[in-house]
Amino acid sequence: MKINKGFNHPLMSNNITSDDNKQVINFLKDDPKLTNGKKVKEFEKKWSKWLGVKYSVFVNSGSSANILSLSYLRTIFPLGGEVIVPSLNWVSNINAILYAGFKPVIIDVNLNNLGVSEKQIKKAINKRTVAIFITHILGFSAFSSQIFKILNNRKKKIFLIEDVCESHGAKFKNYKLGTFGNISNFSFYYAHHMTTIEGGMICTNNRNIYESLRIMRSHGMLRESTSELLKKKVYKKYKHLNKDFIFLYPGYNFRSTEINAVYGINQLKKLDSNNKKRINNFNLFLKSLNSKKYFTDFILDGSCNYAFVVIFRENLRNFKFRKKFELTLKKYNIEFRRGTAGGGNQAMQPYLNFFKNQIIKKFDLKNINIIHKYGYYLGNFPSLEKKKILDICQILNSINYD
């Protein structure tokens, strides 16, 4: 195997370019107001158009988007209830459910799209279910026709929240992820498909949800609403309060800045072209990977992967091969994360011990435990050259079980 000395492959590549920085520098020359303002509104409008939704609310992180979404959910389900959530997830999704006073029902995922198990969704739904919080992992679509059939056959309306933090531009049946749920959440973290340094977006087609989220984003202040009708109604009801300081909801300060928005506006221009490169990279990676050693049977229709996913085949799922695999990657300076998104099975994490009576763990988590122990992701970014991808696959394919 001929691999150049000094070979290395980082997990992430800085998405921010010199042109992005130039746009920020030009913006700052006019000594503008830097807190949430015109550029934030411009970014929200352009993002909504790109995604295909009516409304978007820019916040300071994807985690904040999750918290706001579940906090809004509590305003319409004040008595709480159960929220179905996949075990392969980021910590903030389950945290948001817990801190909003709901009970997370943790279920298994599929290996072929890392998305939530349809069979277990059907079993998990009951009269206490108020929402399903679906996560689209690492650029895969977690949706299937069966999921929507299950939801549409319910007499009771179940709220659907999408976490699209790792899947900007991925689609289901030619519609972008983030356009199906009552609410959808995005992250613009440093290594995701596009970045605003830190940042997130909440999207919806519902005007009432939009107005509520705008208010909750900024301390719960009514004055953040764009609805004059709502304001007049509240002013009339609370005549004894100063109109500038009516706190309609228990809120937060999750506002972002004009600088973050300027980055987002410029990054959005190249998102589609960069996504095409990521898709081509992942297709080449899977094509070149030894399918007898590694799982390659992923559902790629509509996917837009920002990482290379590696899962051992059944005959190699042992700690001896895992140790050799990891030592080989370290030898060639290939950065990796075991367990893929969030480190694997969230049901194993110690933070859940603080909420023992609120966690519902009654389902077989067979697939997530495979991913937890024998699943990985490696970096995939637009600037990655074809030869580098082939070299990585050559290294992975060369690892043998003795």
Whole-number percent of the chain with pLDDT over 90: 93
Tell me the pTM: 0.95
Q: Is the pLDDT of residue 136 over 80?
A: yes
- Residue 338 and residue 252 share a domain: no
In a domain, 402, yes or no: no
Q: What is the CATH number of the domain that holds 353?
A: 3.90.1150.10
Measured distance CA(345)–CA(167) in Å, rounded: 20
Enter the DSSP assignment of 255.
-
Measured distance CA(360)–CA(21) in Å, rounded: 46
Task: Express each pLDDT in 226-249 by its tens digit.
Answer: 999 999 999 999 999 999 999 999
- Residue 94 and residue 31 share a domain: yes
Measured distance CA(115)–CA(107) in Å, rounded: 10
What would the mean pLDDT of 86-107 be, rounded to a whole number? 97
Confidence bin at 150 (pLDDT 50/70/90): very high
Among 244, 269, 294, where does a domain finish? 269
pLDDT for res 161: 98
Cα 35 to chain centroid, rounded:
25
- Residue 58 and residue 193 share a domain: yes
Q: Is the pLDDT of residue 2 over 80?
A: no
Instruction: Find, among 181, 175, 194, 216, the residue nearest to 64 by Cα.
Output: 216
Whole-number percent of the chain with pLDDT over 70: 99
Confidence bin at 401 (pLDDT 50/70/90): confident
- Residue 246 and residue 321 share a domain: no
Q: Is the pLDDT of residue 292 over 90?
A: yes
Q: In degrees rounded to 5, what are phi and psi of residue 370?
A: -65, -50
Which residues make Cβ contacts (< 8 Å) with residue 122, sequence separation at least 6?
150
3-class secondary structure, 135? strand
Name the average pLDDT for the chain. 95
- Residue 248 and residue 301 share a domain: no
Contact 374, 311 (CB under 8 A): yes
pLDDT for res 63: 97
pLDDT for res 156: 76
- Residue 279 and residue 260 share a domain: no
Q: What is the CATH number of the domain that holds 31?
A: 3.40.640.10
- Residue 281 and residue 264 share a domain: no
In a domain, 180, yes or no: yes
Work out how many domains the chain is built from and give that number.
2
Measured distance CA(298)–CA(286) in Å, rounded: 9
- Residue 101 and residue 241 share a domain: yes
- Residue 175 and residue 134 share a domain: yes
In a domain, 305, yes or no: yes
Q: Is the pLDDT of residue 264 over 70?
A: yes
Measured distance CA(9)–CA(335) in Å, rounded: 6
Among 269, 296, 317, where does a domain finish? 269
Measured distance CA(42)–CA(61) in Å, rounded: 18
Instruction: Find, among 306, 91, 304, 269, the residue nearest to 190 by Cα.
Output: 306
Q: In degrees rounded to 5, what are phi and psi of residue 255?
A: -70, 150
In a domain, 134, yes or no: yes
What would the mean pLDDT of 12-26 be, rounded to a whole number? 93
Q: In degrees rounded to 5, what are phi and psi of residue 116?
A: -60, 145
Contact 125, 84 (CB under 8 A): yes
Task: Express each pLDDT in 186-196 by its tens digit.
Answer: 999 988 999 99
Contact 48, 268 (CB under 8 A): no
What would the mean pLDDT of 67-79 be, rounded to a whole number? 97
Instruction: Find, among 16, 8, 1, the residue nearest to 382 by Cα.
Output: 16
What would the mean pLDDT of 296-302 be, rounded to a whole number? 96
Confidence bin at 1 (pLDDT 50/70/90): low
Among 269, 293, 318, where does a domain finish? 269
Strand stretches in 179-225, DSSP E? 183-187, 200-204
Confidence bin at 333 (pLDDT 50/70/90): very high
- Residue 154 and residue 178 share a domain: yes
Measured distance CA(252)–CA(389) in Å, rounded: 43
What would the mean pLDDT of 272-298 be, rounded to a whole number? 97
What would the mean pLDDT of 136-150 be, rounded to a whole number? 96
In a domain, 8, yes or no: no
What would the mean pLDDT of 85-106 be, rounded to a whole number? 97
Element (H, E) at 84: strand 82-86
Q: Is the pLDDT of residue 154 over 90?
A: no
Contact 396, 294 (CB under 8 A): yes
- Both tokens of 142, joined, read 């977690």
Task: Express each pLDDT in 357-392 by its tens digit.
Answer: 999 999 999 999 999 999 999 999 999 999 999 999
Among 9-18, 147-156, 157-166, 265-274, which is the least confidently predicted range? 147-156
Query: Which range of residues forms the domain containing residue 54?
Result: 18-269
